[in-house]
Structure 1
Amino acid sequence: MKDGIYSSLDIGTTSIKVIVSEVLNGKMNVIGVGSEKSNGINKGLIIDIDETALSITKAVKQAEEKSGIQIGSLIVGVPATNIEINPFHVTVSNENASQEINDSLLKKIIEQVRTKKTPSDKTLLSVMVEEFLVDGFDGIKDPRKMVGDQVELYGTLLATSKTVLHNVKKSVNNAGYTISDLIFQPEAMAGLIMSEDERRFGTIQIDLGGGQTSASAVHDEQVKYATIVQEGGENITKDISVVLNTSLKNAEKLKREVGYAYSKLTDERDQTLSIDVVGQEGTVDVKESYIAEIIEARLAQIFEKIQIELDDIGAFDLPGGIILTGGTAAIPGVKELAEDIFEVNVKTYIPDFMGVRYPSFSNAIALVYTKAHMDELTKLLNAIVLNSEYIQTTDQPAEKLPAVSNKQSKVSSDQSNASSESFIDKIKSIFSSFFD
């Protein structure tokens, strides 16, 4: 893991989160967090760039205040919405076989992937390398500095909607920030929440967000499939509100404080609650088990939709089972309900970082974690793929706050020259639990 200061941006349907982390001596510390209600986003898609930019700015400012860092650029997550994942094979010739393979030849390879392998209605987001071949010699991870007449690349491309990517880039830039990298969120998540063996042998991950739920299958250390269900924690809140005829605020409170995703868990402690009802002066008594049934019904519907998608590709045969994360995964009983429906081993991932031990922050943390672990070849390929007026591909030197100064130091999200002094002393009391 490369030492430095990293700032990430997770643009969710219901909330926008920013994480500032310091990696020092191979250890990652979260030193600043921002979370702001999403405006201008519907079903995972940015529909109002200016509103989204304003929400991004507010979230960044919160993270800046807590970390003492002025953020200049961000590692930005791209959701699985309208994503296309395709294996590919391309071949290019080295014009001078005695000349070492260099970055220019890699650019030619990426251009072939972009022009010949990427669907016409999509834009290339990233390339996952399986192996290079040089003059027929296989199993090569990085061909640079080698010599040969012909270079081949076997890999997997990620392509997304041109509109989706443009709106993400434009919103970040309109908020006043540059982008140091764009990373596919399920790919980043797999790196954080799965062990190397789980990624290699095959595991399913389900991200239970506020406005939507994404599921992806990982095998051979690559995301092979991803799908989205346009339902999440926000739908559960609305269900409680409608069924109980109570306000959304009350419904959200009930979900967080007494909600269960698996009604069987309320059998022993089925307490009666008094809730405010719209149009009535008094309160109405409701059993915890009844609220659990409402929550369970929605989550079961989400899981059953995912089950149909994953059954089609045989994902449940993967030995790693399922890992749940995302804000809605914090509801007690989600794991038990998932095991009942999917009939495979299920576990829940909760980040283990001070101030962000909540699954709703998994995406934002995963982006930082992935960038800090990224090898030089992957960084180069990302820069080639994403190079545009929106992307900052060179790092800025990091500067820390002087001990007696109130001025903030403007830093990039990916710094290679960070000072060795730890920011851990700057960690403040960061807020209570967040749901997406």
Structure 2
Amino acid sequence: MKSGIYASLDIGTTSIKVIAAEVLNGQINVIGVGNERSNGLSRGMIVDIDQTAVSIQQAVRQAEDKADIKINELIVGIPANNLHINSCYGSISINQNHQEITDEDVQSVVEKAIEGSLNQEREVLNLTLEEFVVDGFDEIKDPRGMIGNRIEFRGTMTSIPRSILHNIRKAVQKAGFGIKNIILQPHAMAQVSLSEDERNFGALLVDMGGGQTSVAVLHENQVKHAQVIPEGGEYVTKDISIVLNTSIKNAEKLKRDVGHAFYEEANPERSVSVEVVGQNDLVTFKEAYIAEVIEARLEQIFEQLKFSVDHVGAGKLPAGMVISGGAASLPGIEHLAEDVFNVPVRIYVPDFMSVRYPAFTNAIGLVVAETNLSDIERLINQTVLGKTLNLQAKNSVRPVVRENQEQDEQTEEITQPSSQPNEEKEPFGDKVKNFFSGFFE
């Protein structure tokens, strides 16, 4: 891991998360956390740049206050919406004979690979190196310092619609911050939730956010396929609100306090009293009734994800499935996923001080992904970043964070985790399942 202080930004539909972390001697210490309610987003996409920028500012300010540092640049996570994954190739001739290959030569051949593989409506997100070829000698991972007349680059390129990247970049810049790197969220999630062997042999990653849910296929340490469903934890809340005829606020509290994702494991005896619109008295509902509402929505989401991975022949991978994200906190969700996908499923919870919640997986994963880059990968990423965002050369980029001007030495504070009524008797069954069918068409 490359030592230093890093700050990551995870822009979600329901919340924006910022993590400031110090990396030293291969260890990551979270020194500041920001978590702000999202404004300006819908279904994981920015719909109001100004409001999103304000939310980013507030989340960053929280992390700055806790870490006692000033954040200038952010490692930004990008969702896998409408992701394209393609092979790419580029080659250049080196003018002088017996000239050592330099950083500039690597950057030139990478730029050639981008130009030959990208259309005008999309932006390259990152390039994954497969090999360099120098004068016909292949399987080279870092050609710098070698002598050759011709250098070739072979790799995998991921790209997203230009509008998605533009809106995220604009919101970050409008908030007053630079962009150190752009990293695909499934790739970041894989760095912390999967072992190296699991990333190589293959696994399914499911990220359950508030406004959308994504599935990614990992194999040979690369994201091979990704699909995003524009439904997430917010939709579960809305379903509870509709069926129980209660407010969104009450529905969210019910989901968090007594919600269960797998009906068969819900307690059929326990009840909860709920404020219902148009009723003076509280109305009592069985917790199992609420669980069936939750299961109905989540099952539909999982069925859509399963169709996507089955379509590309990735339904059965050796490492099974890992689920994380805010909605992964619902009890029983791994058992429902196992029931739908018929593969081993586990929940990933980050094991870092102050962020031991599934909702912070992407934010901490961005830091891990950035620090794990090799020198050649960092050079390739910097070339892509400069090409995509029109940034200056690497040497002119500001540091991620600067020390507090009032202190001679950086503070190494580590934050700590914060510490009568009528009963619904009508069977839920197929009636409510049919009621929901209109939502999923």
- TM beyond 0.5: yes
> Aligned with 2:17: secondary structure?
strand
The 5-angstrom pairing of residues 394-433 of structure 1 reads 394-396=397-399, 400-401=403-404, 407=406, 423=412, 426-431=413-418
Report the alpha carbon displacement of residue 217 of structure 1 after superposing the two structures with TM. 0.4
Partner of 2:270: 271
Structure 1 distance, partners of 2:110, 2:250, is: 52
Against the structure 1 CA distance between its residues 39 and 134, is the aligned structure 2 distance closer, same or farther, given a 3 Å change threshold?
Answer: same
Secondary structure of 1:315's counterpart equals coil
Relative to 1, partners in 2 of residues 1:428 and 1:104: Cα closer, same or farther, differing over 3 Å?
closer
CA contact (8 A) 2:180 2:400 kept: no
Give 1:1-400 correspondences, 5 Å limit: 1-267=1-267, 270-387=269-386, 388-389=389-390, 393=394, 394-396=397-399, 400=403
Aligned partners of 2:100 and 2:146 also within 8 Å: yes
**Cα deviation per residue 1:152-202 (whole Å; 9 max; x = unaligned)?**
222100111111111111111110111111111111111111111111111
RMSD: 1.8
Which AA in structure 1 matches 2:42? N
Letter in structure 2 aligned against 1:357: R
Which 10-residue stretch deviates more, 292-301 or 147-156? Answer: 147-156
The code of the aligned residue for 2:162 comes to K
Q: Which runs of 5+ in 1 are unaligned?
A: 410-418
For the residues of structure 1 that align with 2:167 and 2:70, how far apart are their CA atoms? 24
Q: Give deviations 1:341-392, integer Å, cap 9, x for gaps.
A: 0001111110011111000000100001111111111111111111145578
Structure 1 residue 80: deviation in Å? 0.6
Q: Aligned partner of 1:396: which letter?
A: P
1:392–1:153 CA distance, 2 compared to 1 (3 A): closer
After superposition, give the CA deviation of every residue in 1:257-281 in whole Å (9 maximum; x if it has no partner): 11100011114x6301111101111
C-alpha spacing 1:391/1:427, structure 2 compared with 1 (3 Å) = farther
Q: Give distance in 2, aligned partners of 1:374 and 1:391.
A: 20
* Mapped contact 1:33–1:430 kept (Cα < 8 A): no
Structure 2 gap ranges (5+): 420-441
Question: Does structure 2 retain, via aligned residues, the 8 Å contact 1:178–1:390?
Answer: no
Deviations 1:128-152 (A, max 9, x none): 0011111222221111111122222
Deviation of the 1:119 alpha carbon: 2.8
**Conserved in 1, the CA contact under 8 Å of 2:73 and 2:401?**
no
AA aligned opposite 1:379: R
- Contact preservation (8 Å) 2:205, 2:321: yes
Name which of structure 1's ranges 304-313 and 108-117 shifts more when overlaid on structure 2.
Answer: 108-117
Given the two structures, how large is their TM-score scaled by the length of structure 2?
A: 0.90
Partner amino acid, structure 2, of 1:125:
L
Q: Per-residue deviation at 1:90? A: 2.6
CA shift in 2, pair 1:33/1:392, >3 Å: farther
Aligned letter for 1:162? Answer: R
Q: After the TM superposition, which parts of structure 1 deviate over 6 Å for at least 4 consecutive aligned residues? A: none
Comparing 243-252 with 371-380, greater Cα deviation is found at 371-380
Deviations 1:208-267 (A, max 9, x none): 011000110011111111110000000000000000001111110111111100011114
How many angstroms apart in 2 are the aligned matches of 1:297 and 1:360?
A: 22
Which residue identity lines up with residue 282 of structure 2 in the other structure? T
Aligned to 2:438: none
Deviates more, 1:100-109 or 1:32-41: 100-109
Partners of 2:233 and 2:390 in 1: CA distance: 36
Q: Does the Cα contact within 8 Å between 1:178 and 1:392 map onto a contact in 2?
A: no
CA distance in structure 2 between the aligned counterparts of 1:397 and 1:323, rounded to whole angstroms: 31
Give, as a single letter, the amino acid of the residue that structure 2 aligns with 1:222.
Q
Distance 1:391 1:63 in 2: 27
In 2, distance between residues paired with 1:243 and 1:369?
41
TM-score norm. by structure 1 comes to 0.91
Decide whether aligned partners of structure 1 residues 392 and 271 sit closer, same or farther in structure 2, where only a CA change above 3 A counts. farther
What secondary structure does 2:231 align onto?
Answer: coil
Deviation at 1:399, TM superposition (A): 5.4
CA offset at residue 88 of structure 1?
2.2
Asked if the contact 1:272–1:288 (Cα under 8 Å) also holds between the matched residues in 2, the reply is yes
Aligned mates of 2:10, 2:200 — CA distance in 1: 26
Q: 1:105 to 1:400 in 2, by over 3 A?
A: closer
